[in-house]
Amino acid sequence: MKMPSMDKLEKYAELALRTGVNLQNDQLLMINSTIEGAEFTRIVARKAFEMGAKDVHINWGDDELTRMAYEHADQETLSHVPEWQQQKYTYFAEQGAAILSIRSTDPDLLKGIDAGKVASAAKARSEAMSTFRNYTMNDRIQWSIISIPIAKWAQKIFPGEEEDTAVEKLWEQIFSIVRVDQDDPVEAWKKHNDTLITAREYLNKKQYRKLIYKAPGTDLEVALPKGHVWKGGPAGTAEGNISFNPNMPTEEVFTAPHKYGVDGKVTSTKPLNYGGNVINNFTLTFKEGKVVDFTAEEGSETLQHLLDTDEGSRHLGELALVPHESPISQSGLIFYNTLYDENASCHLALGKAYPNNVQGGSDMNEEELDQNGVNHSLTHVDFMMGSGELDIDGVLEDGTTEAVMRKGSWAITFE
């Protein structure tokens, strides 16, 4: 399969290392990748060593083997996560490694597989990786996620195209969206991050008591915890005061909703790829923070299992604001990939909230977080609900209401 020019691939690799994880001299790097991305992953590894990485460890995955296991292994086997796998991730976290995930997965990978089997395995992995996840969700280490094309993903986005043509088109979209097609992608990201930082600082000063969402199929009120913290761009700083970008692309500013303060109905605006299955055209009805009813035209059983993962999976853990003018939205494409689709649209997340989305949250235990309205769960699943028809109002502490977004665009001027 034809690859893009080496110049573009090296620019992308350098961007992921310098702006994504912000790799430091003499730091360990762990890369999660798939065998289909081996050529690009080797470029990233070489760049990392050239930048002074102490060592580079690769965790390889293979879609075909994953599908094979779900087709033939029993649920008990699929739900077993060997202790050595847990210890490996914890070891690298304890060593202060940077973690880069290079994702390239077929959106329909597990289509037709029993949803209960998939849900059980996903829950087991989440439980097993809880210690490691505390490092990432509290920004104790640098981590970032990027994507590269594979044929099945590309042809899902560009149906009817030959493999090579579809993959070439997807590479072009990725390079444009993550600014690799610019002369100096790293510098372009610095300017982009500055814009996101300005937006999050404005919202942090406002400290809205709640947000009100209105759109076709959506009428939702979301309370915000006292002392909530908006993040965006470089999400924060890892130990050692090192900034990093967890998601590339990223167009969002986000915070934690109040676990018990969500009421009304929300309707999805883009398909959700969850666990190798697509959930589409779904609605969620909330009462006092909890999903009490739902519908889905596609993937209803998968959505049911997601909501039933644990008590926290029926509560929200994130709300994110993304202007309709984002380059991903303007592409007019549905990517069937949450990393991309969530940055085309305002979105919410079911499940665990980032503790550092409230002041002092990283130092709170689970009970204290709950008392402050911060949700805990084994899951964290973003779903898209924004569009060019979405209006959002912010309610201040004194009850004053002001426009935050109109028809999917910012209605406020950041100062």
Contact between 235 and 253 under an 8 Å Cβ cutoff? The reply is no
Determine which helix (DSSP H) or strand (DSSP E) holds 11, and give its type and residue range. helix 6-15
**Cα 266 to chain centroid, rounded:** 19
Torsion angles phi and psi, residue 107, rounded to 5: -60, -25
Summarised one tens digit per residue, pLDDT across range 183-193 is 999 999 999 99
DSSP summary character for residue 281: E
**Cα 241 to chain centroid, rounded:** 22
What is the pTM assigned to this prediction?
0.91
Structure tokens at 63: 């879609």
Residues 6+ apart with CB under 8 A from 238: 139, 140, 141, 142, 244
pLDDT for 415: 64
pLDDT for 235: 61
pLDDT for 409: 95
Please spell the DSSP secondary structure of 375-401, one letter per residue. ---S-EEEEE---TT-EEEEE-TTS-E
pLDDT for 105: 86
pLDDT for 2: 73
pLDDT for 236: 60
pLDDT for 71: 96
- pLDDT by residue for the chain (415 residues), tens digit each? 678 999 999 999 999 999 999 999 999 999 999 999 999 999 999 999 999 999 999 999 999 999 999 999 999 999 999 999 999 999 999 999 999 999 998 999 999 999 999 999 999 999 999 999 999 998 899 999 999 999 999 999 999 999 999 999 999 999 999 999 999 999 999 999 999 999 999 999 999 999 999 999 999 999 999 999 999 887 667 677 899 999 999 999 999 999 999 999 999 999 999 988 999 999 999 999 999 999 999 999 999 999 999 999 999 999 999 999 899 998 999 999 989 999 999 999 999 999 999 999 999 999 999 999 999 999 999 999 999 999 999 999 999 999 999 999 999 987 6
Question: In this structure, is the dihedral angle defined by the CA atoms of residues 83, 88, 93 and 98, taken in order, positive or negative?
Answer: negative
Please give the Cα distance from 342 to 329 (Å, whole number): 10
Contact between 196 and 233 under an 8 Å Cβ cutoff? The reply is yes
Residue 340's nearest CA partner among 164, 149, 155, 132 is 149
Please spell the DSSP secondary structure of 38-103, one letter per residue. HHHHHHHHHHHHHTT-SEEEEEEE-HHHHHHHHHHS-HHHHT---HHHHHHHHHHHHTT-EEEEEE
